[in-house]
A and B are shown apart, each in its own frame.
Chain A
Amino acid sequence: QQQVKQSPQSLIVQKGGISIINCAYENTAFDYFPWYQQFPGKGPALLIAIRPDVSEKKEGRFTISFNKSAKQFSLHIMDSQPGDSATYFCAASIGETSGSRLTFGEGTQLTVNP
Protein backbone atom coordinates (compact mmCIF):
# COMPACT_ATOMS: atom_id res chain seq x y z
CA GLN A 1 0.00 0.00 0.00
CA GLN A 2 3.02 2.23 0.36
CA GLN A 3 4.13 1.74 -3.23
CA VAL A 4 4.11 4.25 -6.02
CA LYS A 5 4.07 2.72 -9.50
CA GLN A 6 5.69 4.67 -12.34
CA SER A 7 5.62 4.18 -16.11
CA PRO A 8 7.14 4.01 -18.62
CA GLN A 9 10.55 2.82 -17.49
CA SER A 10 12.15 4.63 -20.40
CA LEU A 11 10.95 7.19 -22.90
CA ILE A 12 12.43 8.60 -26.09
CA VAL A 13 11.02 11.84 -27.46
CA GLN A 14 12.00 14.11 -30.30
CA LYS A 15 12.99 17.68 -29.57
CA GLY A 16 9.87 19.81 -29.35
CA GLY A 17 7.63 16.89 -28.49
CA ILE A 18 5.62 16.23 -25.34
CA SER A 19 6.97 13.84 -22.71
CA ILE A 20 4.39 12.17 -20.49
CA ILE A 21 5.23 10.13 -17.40
CA ASN A 22 2.56 8.47 -15.29
CA CYS A 23 2.35 7.41 -11.66
CA ALA A 24 -0.24 5.58 -9.59
CA TYR A 25 -0.52 5.15 -5.85
CA GLU A 26 -2.58 3.11 -3.42
CA ASN A 27 -2.30 4.85 -0.09
CA THR A 28 -5.10 7.42 0.12
CA ALA A 29 -3.31 9.10 3.02
CA PHE A 30 -0.71 10.49 0.61
CA ASP A 31 -1.32 14.20 0.20
CA TYR A 32 1.86 15.59 -1.32
CA PHE A 33 3.12 14.54 -4.75
CA PRO A 34 6.48 15.89 -5.93
CA TRP A 35 8.44 15.10 -9.06
CA TYR A 36 12.22 14.94 -8.99
CA GLN A 37 14.74 15.22 -11.81
CA GLN A 38 18.04 13.39 -11.58
CA PHE A 39 21.03 13.75 -13.89
CA PRO A 40 23.70 11.02 -14.02
CA GLY A 41 25.99 11.15 -11.01
CA LYS A 42 23.84 13.74 -9.25
CA GLY A 43 21.23 13.72 -6.54
CA PRO A 44 17.52 14.19 -7.23
CA ALA A 45 16.32 17.78 -7.46
CA LEU A 46 12.74 18.89 -6.89
CA LEU A 47 11.09 19.86 -10.17
CA ILE A 48 7.45 20.51 -9.34
CA ALA A 49 4.92 19.31 -6.77
CA ILE A 50 1.18 19.20 -6.27
CA ARG A 51 -1.33 18.69 -3.48
CA PRO A 52 -4.58 16.79 -4.13
CA ASP A 53 -6.81 19.84 -3.71
CA VAL A 54 -5.97 20.91 -7.28
CA SER A 55 -6.15 18.92 -10.50
CA GLU A 56 -3.34 20.62 -12.34
CA LYS A 57 -0.25 22.68 -11.67
CA LYS A 58 1.93 24.29 -14.29
CA GLU A 59 5.41 25.73 -13.98
CA GLY A 60 6.94 26.78 -17.27
CA ARG A 61 7.09 23.76 -19.58
CA PHE A 62 6.29 21.33 -16.77
CA THR A 63 2.72 20.41 -15.78
CA ILE A 64 1.40 17.96 -13.22
CA SER A 65 -2.05 16.52 -13.79
CA PHE A 66 -3.70 14.91 -10.77
CA ASN A 67 -6.69 12.56 -10.71
CA LYS A 68 -7.65 11.94 -7.11
CA SER A 69 -10.43 9.44 -7.81
CA ALA A 70 -8.15 7.32 -9.98
CA LYS A 71 -5.20 7.81 -7.61
CA GLN A 72 -3.02 8.77 -10.53
CA PHE A 73 -0.83 11.72 -11.40
CA SER A 74 1.33 12.51 -14.35
CA LEU A 75 4.11 14.82 -15.48
CA HIS A 76 3.90 16.51 -18.86
CA ILE A 77 6.98 18.17 -20.34
CA MET A 78 5.99 20.44 -23.19
CA ASP A 79 8.43 21.37 -25.97
CA SER A 80 10.90 18.79 -24.69
CA GLN A 81 14.57 19.73 -25.07
CA PRO A 82 17.77 17.64 -25.13
CA GLY A 83 18.70 19.26 -21.82
CA ASP A 84 15.62 17.60 -20.29
CA SER A 85 17.26 14.20 -20.80
CA ALA A 86 17.43 12.78 -17.29
CA THR A 87 15.75 10.31 -14.97
CA TYR A 88 12.46 11.49 -13.52
CA PHE A 89 11.00 10.18 -10.29
CA CYS A 90 7.53 10.71 -8.96
CA ALA A 91 7.09 10.53 -5.22
CA ALA A 92 4.41 10.77 -2.57
CA SER A 93 4.29 11.53 1.11
CA ILE A 94 1.88 12.06 3.96
CA GLY A 95 2.29 15.72 4.64
CA GLU A 96 4.85 17.96 3.04
CA THR A 97 6.57 19.32 6.10
CA SER A 98 10.05 18.46 7.24
CA GLY A 99 10.11 14.89 8.38
CA SER A 100 7.72 13.63 5.76
CA ARG A 101 9.00 10.36 4.38
CA LEU A 102 9.02 10.26 0.57
CA THR A 103 7.95 7.10 -1.27
CA PHE A 104 9.47 7.14 -4.75
CA GLY A 105 8.43 5.54 -8.01
CA GLU A 106 10.90 3.41 -9.92
CA GLY A 107 11.98 6.21 -12.24
CA THR A 108 11.68 7.01 -15.95
CA GLN A 109 14.76 7.54 -18.07
CA LEU A 110 13.90 10.27 -20.57
CA THR A 111 15.94 10.81 -23.70
CA VAL A 112 15.16 13.79 -25.90
CA ASN A 113 16.72 13.48 -29.33
CA PRO A 114 17.85 16.66 -31.08
Chain B
Amino acid sequence: NAGVMQNPRHLVRRRGQEARLRCSPMKGHSHVYWYRQLPEEGLKFMVYLQKENIIDESGMPKERFSAEFPKEGPSILRIQQVVRGDSAAYFCASSPIDGGGNTIYFGEGSWLTVV
Protein backbone atom coordinates (compact mmCIF):
# COMPACT_ATOMS: atom_id res chain seq x y z
CA ASN B 1 0.00 0.00 0.00
CA ALA B 2 2.03 2.90 -1.31
CA GLY B 3 1.74 6.16 0.52
CA VAL B 4 1.46 9.63 -0.94
CA MET B 5 4.15 9.83 -3.59
CA GLN B 6 5.82 13.10 -4.43
CA ASN B 7 8.42 13.82 -7.06
CA PRO B 8 10.89 15.12 -7.52
CA ARG B 9 12.15 14.99 -3.94
CA HIS B 10 14.67 17.69 -4.63
CA LEU B 11 14.57 20.29 -7.38
CA VAL B 12 16.96 23.10 -8.15
CA ARG B 13 15.83 25.92 -10.41
CA ARG B 14 17.39 29.18 -11.49
CA ARG B 15 15.44 32.38 -10.96
CA GLY B 16 12.89 32.83 -13.72
CA GLN B 17 12.53 29.12 -14.52
CA GLU B 18 9.44 27.01 -13.94
CA ALA B 19 9.06 24.36 -11.27
CA ARG B 20 6.59 21.47 -11.51
CA LEU B 21 5.93 19.33 -8.49
CA ARG B 22 3.91 16.13 -8.75
CA CYS B 23 1.82 14.30 -6.23
CA SER B 24 0.17 10.90 -6.54
CA PRO B 25 -2.35 10.39 -3.73
CA MET B 26 -2.77 7.17 -1.82
CA LYS B 27 -4.86 4.55 -3.55
CA GLY B 28 -8.53 5.26 -3.00
CA HIS B 29 -7.96 8.90 -2.03
CA SER B 30 -9.71 11.55 -4.05
CA HIS B 31 -8.76 14.67 -2.10
CA VAL B 32 -5.37 16.34 -2.48
CA TYR B 33 -3.89 19.21 -0.49
CA TRP B 34 -0.72 21.19 -0.99
CA TYR B 35 1.14 22.82 1.90
CA ARG B 36 4.33 24.89 1.86
CA GLN B 37 6.94 24.84 4.61
CA LEU B 38 9.40 27.70 4.63
CA PRO B 39 12.65 27.25 6.60
CA GLU B 40 12.09 27.33 10.37
CA GLU B 41 8.33 27.72 9.90
CA GLY B 42 5.25 25.54 10.10
CA LEU B 43 3.30 24.29 7.16
CA LYS B 44 1.03 26.76 5.41
CA PHE B 45 -2.04 25.63 3.50
CA MET B 46 -1.97 26.44 -0.19
CA VAL B 47 -4.73 24.61 -2.05
CA TYR B 48 -7.27 21.80 -1.77
CA LEU B 49 -8.33 19.89 -4.86
CA GLN B 50 -10.58 17.05 -5.86
CA LYS B 51 -10.45 15.37 -9.25
CA GLU B 52 -10.75 18.09 -11.91
CA ASN B 53 -11.85 20.66 -9.32
CA ILE B 54 -10.12 23.28 -7.21
CA ILE B 55 -12.14 23.43 -4.00
CA ASP B 56 -10.16 25.95 -1.94
CA GLU B 57 -7.19 27.93 -3.22
CA SER B 58 -7.27 30.62 -0.57
CA GLY B 59 -3.66 29.92 0.43
CA MET B 60 -2.20 30.18 -3.05
CA PRO B 61 -0.15 33.24 -3.96
CA LYS B 62 -2.10 35.32 -6.48
CA GLU B 63 0.54 35.16 -9.18
CA ARG B 64 2.86 32.52 -10.63
CA PHE B 65 1.34 29.59 -8.71
CA SER B 66 -1.22 27.15 -10.06
CA ALA B 67 -2.41 23.67 -9.21
CA GLU B 68 -4.39 20.97 -10.93
CA PHE B 69 -5.62 17.47 -10.25
CA PRO B 70 -6.69 15.96 -13.58
CA LYS B 71 -9.04 13.06 -14.06
CA GLU B 72 -6.05 10.88 -14.86
CA GLY B 73 -2.58 11.28 -13.45
CA PRO B 74 -1.02 13.06 -10.51
CA SER B 75 -1.78 16.43 -9.03
CA ILE B 76 0.67 19.09 -10.18
CA LEU B 77 1.76 22.25 -8.41
CA ARG B 78 3.28 24.63 -10.91
CA ILE B 79 5.39 27.65 -10.05
CA GLN B 80 6.24 29.95 -12.90
CA GLN B 81 9.18 32.38 -12.96
CA VAL B 82 10.51 31.17 -9.64
CA VAL B 83 12.17 33.58 -7.22
CA ARG B 84 14.47 32.89 -4.27
CA GLY B 85 11.57 33.30 -1.86
CA ASP B 86 9.91 30.24 -3.41
CA SER B 87 12.65 28.05 -1.93
CA ALA B 88 10.78 25.78 0.47
CA ALA B 89 9.54 22.27 1.08
CA TYR B 90 6.23 21.58 -0.62
CA PHE B 91 4.14 18.85 0.94
CA CYS B 92 1.22 17.09 -0.63
CA ALA B 93 -1.39 15.30 1.46
CA SER B 94 -4.34 13.14 0.48
CA SER B 95 -7.48 11.83 2.09
CA PRO B 96 -10.48 9.73 1.10
CA ILE B 97 -13.77 11.35 0.24
CA ASP B 98 -15.42 10.49 3.52
CA GLY B 99 -12.47 10.32 5.84
CA GLY B 100 -11.80 12.01 9.13
CA GLY B 101 -8.73 13.93 10.20
CA ASN B 102 -6.92 10.73 10.96
CA THR B 103 -7.15 9.73 7.30
CA ILE B 104 -5.08 12.64 5.99
CA TYR B 105 -1.63 11.42 4.99
CA PHE B 106 1.32 13.55 3.97
CA GLY B 107 3.96 12.74 1.40
CA GLU B 108 7.65 13.14 2.08
CA GLY B 109 7.81 16.49 0.37
CA SER B 110 9.53 18.14 -2.55
CA TRP B 111 12.38 20.48 -1.63
CA LEU B 112 12.67 23.36 -4.08
CA THR B 113 15.85 25.42 -4.13
CA VAL B 114 15.97 28.54 -6.28
CA VAL B 115 19.47 29.76 -7.09
Contact = CB atoms under 8 A, between A and B. Distances in A.
Interface of A: 4, 6, 32, 34, 36, 41-46, 49, 89, 93, 96-107
A59 to B, nearest CB: 11
Given A43-B4, A46-B102, A98 B42 contact: no
Interface residues of B, number: 31
B104 A98 contact: yes
B43 A89 contact: yes
Contacts of A96: 100-102
Given A6-B42, A43-B109, A106-B42, A101 B101 contact: no
Most buried by A among B35, B58, B59, B101: B101
B27 to A, nearest CB: 15
Report, nearest first, the 8 A-B pairs whose CB atoms are least far apart: A43-B106, A96-B101, A104-B42, A98-B95, A104-B43, A98-B99, A106-B42, A43-B108
B103 A98 contact: yes
